Amino acid sequence: MPFVNLRYAKAAAVVSIGLVASACTTSVRCGDARRVHPASILFMMEDYLEFPKIPLGERKAFSFHVTKCKGDATIFFPKSLRMRIPKAELDLTQSSHDQPWRSTLLRVSLVGPDGRKLYDQKINLATDWKGGAEVGSKYSKLWLKLPGEAKLASLESYTFQVEVLRPSGRRADTLEISSEY
């Protein structure tokens, strides 16, 4: 009987390797961002843009030039800002507003290829952070209200700018730009 058990073990190993190999991710540079294409047989997953993390602990400006990726019909746009917030600070409704990240003031801009600002907004994390933490998530999100997709769809490239006007009270805080809702 050991021969039969060995045959099943080999079959299980081949299936396991196939599932792991089918769940790979590919990425393509689109200017300063990367378009990530997660591939999986088991799940339907959408492509998204990946930007470098933005440190909130110091006054600084960040600028990311994004182009339409080769073979893409449309260009991806940032839709939300995400921030890891410690569990103890996730209750955004609490009356105590002493979280260090609440002191942060940002300016977020989307600039077209002609230099015209299509979106420009100051974001004060003490008053404008309306996003909440999702169940089971490490992130709290702030959704951006960009101009309508139809207005932006014709763009071949854009520059996304984030300026930290007033830094966080905690130097380790970072912000992530997300093209997912």
- Please list, in sequence order, all residues whose beta carbon lies within 8 angstroms of the beta carbon of residue 121, skipping any fewer than 6 positions away: 107, 108, 109, 144, 145
pLDDT of residue 67: 86
- Please state the domain extents for the chain: 51-178
- For 22, 93, 106, 140, the CA distances from 153, given in Å and listed in that order, are 32, 36, 26, 28
Say how many Å lie between the first and final Cα of the chain, rounded. Answer: 54
Q: What tens digit of pLDDT does each residue of 56-74 get? A: 999 999 999 988 877 776 7
Range of 34-48, 75-89, 121-135, 156-170 with top mean pLDDT: 156-170
The bridge status of strand 54-55 relative to strand 139-143 is unpaired
Other beta carbons less than 10 A from residue 73's beta carbon: 6
Q: Mean pLDDT across the stretch 41-64? A: 83
- The CATH number fitting domain 51-178, selected from 2.40.50, 3.30.519, 3.40.50, 2.60.120: 2.60.120
The reported pLDDT for the residue numbered 166 is: 96
CB 75 within 8 A of CB 149: no
| Predicted pLDDT of residue 55 | 95
DSSP letter for each residue of 122-154: EEETTTS----BPTT-SEEEEE--PSPHHHHHT
pLDDT digits (tens, 9 = 90+) for 85-138: 776 776 655 545 678 888 899 999 999 899 999 889 898 887 776 555 554 566
Q: Can you give the pTM of this predicted structure?
A: 0.73
The pLDDT of residue 139: 61
Asked if the model's pLDDT at residue 26 lies above 80, the reply is no
